Structure 1
Amino acid sequence: MPASTPQDTIPSNSAQATRTAGIEFSQVTKRYGANTVVDNLTLSIPAGETTVFVGSSGCGKTTTLRMINRMVEPQEGTITIGGQNIADQDPYKLRRSIGYVMQSGGLLPHRTVLENVMTVPLLNGTPKPQAKERALALLGTVGLDASLAQRYPAQLSGGQAQRVGVARALAADASILLMDEPFSAVDPIVRTELQEELLRLQGELHKTIVFVTHDIDEALFLGDNIAVFAPGGKLAQYGAPEEILTNPANDFVESFVSQSVGALLPADVMRQVRYIRRERYRRTREAAASTSGRG
């Protein structure tokens, strides 16, 4: 199978695709002064799947993510969600309808865990009793004990804070979840736990997730689809993890992927692919079974 190019689209096989919103970029460019940070991007993000933007610092992946909820506006091109041009939508209402998890967690320091998770539902008009009930349920969903509800962000560990950030992003029941390097600031053991927790949640919820990382191993582990960004904001390749590993589109992608697979022969690469996918689903099943056992 030939490698995907920026013009290719990857159809969604998810049963949730008709019930959630896909995201389309068409010839999108963003500049800051004379510096082009996203260059003529055309990309189709399937509904109900996890799409990972990966690349080195400054390649435009976070800017691309932030254009989805209009925190950044492009100079050229169009972005649609579910076929609707986001430029025609009120940016504040749009942001409240999209979950967003950032690297620092972004929790309000003067509000308790429970109040942080309740923030968006209350802004959207949910009555306080229902917002509180949902917030408490979401803490359990992300693996946090209800006893943490009255703590403040400064009283949480890094892993706990990121779980609260995920719960807050899920609180509005949005079909789209944006995640900007959410696990990069925690230690490796906690990071692995959070990655596995995300896989478990996605297996249950089937959100349209856009996840930004600079770590190719994290991208391969989490992504149904991977968009590799090159310096200058150019999309170097877009495809399934197996495709990125076994059929890199150019020398840049091959060099970037080699951080993970090294100088492996094609047969060894295929074994690496099968191992990654097998481990991914094994860990997802184990996490789901563990959660079920706690219930």
Structure 2
Amino acid sequence: MIKTAVPLLLFWIVNIALAVFMYTNGHTDYESFEELFWFAVSFTLFFIITKEVVNKLLRVALLVYSVGLLLDIFDSFIGNTNLPILGLDTSLKNLGFLLISVGFYRMIKEKRKDVYKLKAEVERRRQLEQQMRYEANHDSMTGVGSRKACFEGLQAHKFAGLWLLYLDVDNFKQVNDTYGHHVGDKVLISFTQNMQQYFGLSHCFRIGGDEFIAYVDCELPNLDEIRSALLNGLLEYNINVSIGQVMVDPAKQADLLIHEADKQMYGDKKGKSLRSSSRG
């Protein structure tokens, strides 16, 4: 900043001294002083733009305009002279003004391009942020809510007063072993689609490989009805669903609620196993 200010200060001191010299020597033509002033302004702008703005056309334009003003000043001092170059003063000023206009127009176009690029980048980042947020809160394979989203919803008391159902797909390992993992994936996707139809997407979460959590608003969940709905179209794979249920109490921590539902789910699984053994 100081390196720029010192030369400009000296330049203006010289111009002021020249104006004083002209006045004290009887030169009272107003136009000469006006031309000297605008020459100083134009050259100052040229000097600043040369330092700060990377626009060659604008630099040339201001230089041409300044030269035109300088020729006007020379013409005022020299007077009646047939130097052809002095006749170019008006033409150079007009040309300089035209080039300045073109230079600023090009700068505006470049800035618009920069603004459009910036807007596009902001939009790209916004979409990327939305995608990352979606991926963090949804299971990538099934599309239902993630474990993180489930815990955050509980902690925010989003499901207060609802029944929390802990769901575990029984015999799922044998699906992978018998039919392959690609069929196992299809079974889980079909299972979660049944969940969404019964509970609604916002109430369905996958918290592990074949373990899920769902929320339902009712007086008391009908577990037989829920099993039938969740296993719709999947009975051929010889799977079942173990269910643990607990009422969501805002006073209890999320970990404790899920732990209680998990214990009940294992009790349900054990009960089905005992009933199956007794029938055998």
Give the TM interval when normalised to the shorter protein: under 0.3
Q: TM-score, normalised by structure 1?
A: 0.22
Report the structure, 1 or 2, having the larger strand content: 1
Higher RCO structure (Cα 8 Å, ≥6 apart):
1
Q: TM-score, normalised by structure 2?
A: 0.23
Report the structure, 1 or 2, having the larger helix content: 2
